[in-house]
Amino acid sequence: MELDGEVAATHPVGVEAERDDDGSQLWHVVALSAEGIISTDEQQRILLFNRAAEEIFGYEAEEVIGQQLAILIPSSVRERHHEMVDRMLAQGTVSRRMGERHVLRGRRRSGEEFDAGISFSTLRLAHGSIATAVVRDLTELRRARDLARQSESRYRTLVDLSPVGIFTCADDGTILDANPALVAMLGAESAAAVRGQSLPARFADPECWDRLRDGRFVGHAHAPLEQRLWRFDTGHVDLMLKFRRAGGVTDAPIIYGFALDVTERRRLEATVSRADHLHSLGKLAGGVAHDFNNLISIIRLCAESMRDDPAIPGESRLDLEDIDRAAVRAGELTQQLLAFGRRQVLHPRPLDLAEVVLRNEGLVRRLLGEDVSLRITTAPEGTDVLADDAQIERVLVNLITNARDAMPTGGNVSITVGRAEPSALERAECLSLPPGPFVRLAVSDSGSGIDPATRARLFEPFFTTKDVANGTGLGLASIYGIVLQSGGGITVASAPGEGTTFSLWFPAISAKVYPTTVALPNGDVPPALRLPLRVLVVEDEDGIRRLVVRALERRGIEVRAAADGPAALALLTGESPPPDVIISDVVLPGLSGQQLVEQVAAQVPDVRTLFISGYSRDAVQKHGRLRPGSVLLPKPFTAEQLMDALARLLAATPASPASAAPTAGAPSGGGHAPTLEVSR
């Protein structure tokens, strides 16, 4: 190809088509080239400018032919560029590929600058040299590469931030890569620590991997599969795994894996199903216990009444005492079942948990014996809760008894009371703790600890690992009911051989809510009953009603009785004088004891109320509060205890809704001693 000097824009330099077919052919190649081709003479004037160059630079060829090459170069690099072209022209025939690594800048007609990859050659001809550049606009390439890079980085970030474990494995289960979520699930320090490790070796069921390989892939994916894996640090993790296999024809197959950590979900499900199980057991136990309470009441009232009969021979009296003792013991058991079923009438009042523990230190020491050392730590303040004093003492005694039994050869027990916040795990274990703050009563022992199988059934009634003489399996069941009924929860930390800590969480209250109290006359000798006295008895259980009426009438009390609320109200409409006292069951068919008393009080404002109950569903629903000033006598009770309660009720200062009394002392009567409570 020769340089002609005068060049047309659309003609290659020096081509004379009629005598140079090759040149003409070359011209077509140049014209059609997808890359810009520009030639200049030694003065760097543009001689050739093909169509692709027109597209890249935005100039028509006619506009630039004869112009200085500099118009295609940004001013900032023009001088340097000029020198470089000069230098190459001076070197004679050379060709150099530049571009990619040494990107040059071009300037479009619009003034826009761009990166260009350039191949450059100079050709010395007879009439001088020409320089030719093949120009590639890198803008699109760069943009595509940037987009690819951004997209890659976005996907990388997505994988890195994913809460789902994402990993790749070789076909033999060797981990190739893992995202941070999987690294965390496996308890490893970094992705590098898991790379190259065998995933199947972590499976708790080592055969699972083989099963997977031997056909559980449906097509290229397999159904999600739950597996327990050993973590790199300690313990295990339950993962829901889904695999997908790809490749395998020309390259080695790769398994793409996705993992969800279901450990917490499984644990929670187990807790919920345990709680459900306990709830239904509680319903059953509570229902049975309630009915038993009525039966035991009848047994005790009958035995008592027969004992009082002078016609009964001495020998039979001894039998009657045995009957009564057995009934007392049966009553204690039903109390525990009621506690578990959360159907016990609780008498919550503000109390200082620390004070309850310190007050019972002597009893705790005696229970533990000399070979167990005891440490009690209580916070100086902030340990007030709303709970039933007597029940908390019972809870403490049960926990201490269990601790002692777990340390047959002695050990250490510590009791701590103070404000604490349950951890997320502890909250999950309790399921339904209200928002804080909490007072925690913790009892720790250095005993045998609890294995997982026992741990799962700990709060079930009648579950015991002790022999018949030492265990009833009702201790923890009743603690469970009492604590839950008090709005709290229980957590257990234990491992075989490492001792046990039971933590009881009670919602903390401010000491300022302590109400003023009026005391019910309390003491060994009940105040004498003053006659005449008119009592209205309302009880749906025929046997109990009959026996209560008989016991009252024997003491000269004027009694009217009804089986339910409407019948009782009907008795009030007659001519006879209004009653001084209503003795009513709490739970009655139709009108509840509470509602009945409200209606009677509307007609007879100064009537006193003695509730009798095996449990009080109503009372529980109303946060354990009965009508202000009323007294509650739990079933089963003896006639003596009934009289005692009546006498104390009548001797007490009439209670107003603003006042309340704490638990009055147990009335005399021996055996099972019900606790009286004046409701606030």
Q: Which residues bind ligand ADP (CB under 6 A)?
A: 398, 402-403, 406, 445, 447-448, 450, 454, 458, 463-466, 471-473, 475-477, 500
Q: How far is the CB of 224 from ligand ADP (least distance, A)?
A: 37
Q: How far is the CB of 445 from ligand ADP (least distance, A)?
A: 5
Q: How does DSSP classify residue 216? A: I
Q: Which residues contact 206 (CB under 8 A, 6 or more apart)?
A: 200
Q: How far is the CB of 655 from ligand ADP (least distance, A)?
A: 37
Amino acid at position 49, single letter: F
Q: How far is the CB of 460 from ligand ADP (least distance, A)?
A: 8
Q: How far is the CB of 493 from ligand ADP (least distance, A)?
A: 11
H or E segment and range at residue 646: helix 639-651
Q: How far is the CB of 462 from ligand ADP (least distance, A)?
A: 8
Which DSSP string corresponds to 410-455? -EEEEEEEEEE---HHHHHHHS-PPSS-EEEEEEEE-SS---HHHH
Residue 122 or 500 having the CB closest to ligand ADP? 500
Q: How far is the CB of 487 from ligand ADP (least distance, A)?
A: 21
Residue 501 or 517 having the CB closest to ligand ADP? 501
Q: How far is the CB of 458 from ligand ADP (least distance, A)?
A: 5
Task: Tell me: cis bond preceding 380? Omega within 30 of 0 counts.
Answer: no
Q: How far is the CB of 673 from ligand ADP (least distance, A)?
A: 22
Residue 290 or 404 having the CB closest to ligand ADP? 404
Residue that is written with structure tokens 């739970």 in the block: 587
Report how far residue 634's alpha carbon sits from residue 585's, in angstroms, rounded to the nearest whole number.
10
Residue 58 or 449 having the CB closest to ligand ADP? 449
Cβ-contact 660, 677 below 8 angstroms: no
Q: Which residues contact 354 (CB under 8 A, 6 or more apart)?
A: 378, 379, 380, 383, 417, 418
Residue 53 or 441 having the CB closest to ligand ADP? 441
Residue 383 or 448 having the CB closest to ligand ADP? 448
Residue 7 or 443 having the CB closest to ligand ADP? 443
Task: Tell me: cis bond preceding 578? Omega within 30 of 0 counts.
Answer: no
Residue 131 or 368 having the CB closest to ligand ADP? 368
Helix (H, G, I), strand (E, B) or coil at 399: helix
Residue 40 or 500 having the CB closest to ligand ADP? 500
H or E segment and range at residue 319: helix 314-340
Q: How far is the CB of 339 from ligand ADP (least distance, A)?
A: 12
Helix (H, G, I), strand (E, B) or coil at 350: strand
Q: How far is the CB of 532 from ligand ADP (least distance, A)?
A: 50
Residue 413 or 660 having the CB closest to ligand ADP? 413
Q: How far is the CB of 288 from ligand ADP (least distance, A)?
A: 18
Residue 445 or 585 having the CB closest to ligand ADP? 445
Report how far residue 447's alpha carbon sits from residue 497's, in angstroms, rounded to the nearest whole number.
7
In the chain, what is the straight-line distance between the N-terminal and C-terminal CA atoms, in Å? 116
Residue nearest to ligand ADP (CB): 475
Q: How does DSSP classify residue 224? A: -
Report how far residue 568's alpha carbon sits from residue 537's, in angstroms, rounded to the nearest whole number.
8
User: 36 is written with which tokens?
Assistant: 């810009």
Residue 413 or 632 having the CB closest to ligand ADP? 413
Q: At what angle do helices 475-485 and 314-340 cross, to 10 degrees?
A: 60
Cβ-contact 482, 341 below 8 angstroms: no
Cβ-contact 179, 157 below 8 angstroms: no
Cβ-contact 526, 643 below 8 angstroms: yes
Report how far residue 400's alpha carbon sits from residue 262's, in angstroms, rounded to the nearest whole number.
36
In terms of DSSP H, where are the helices of 555-616? 565-572, 593-603
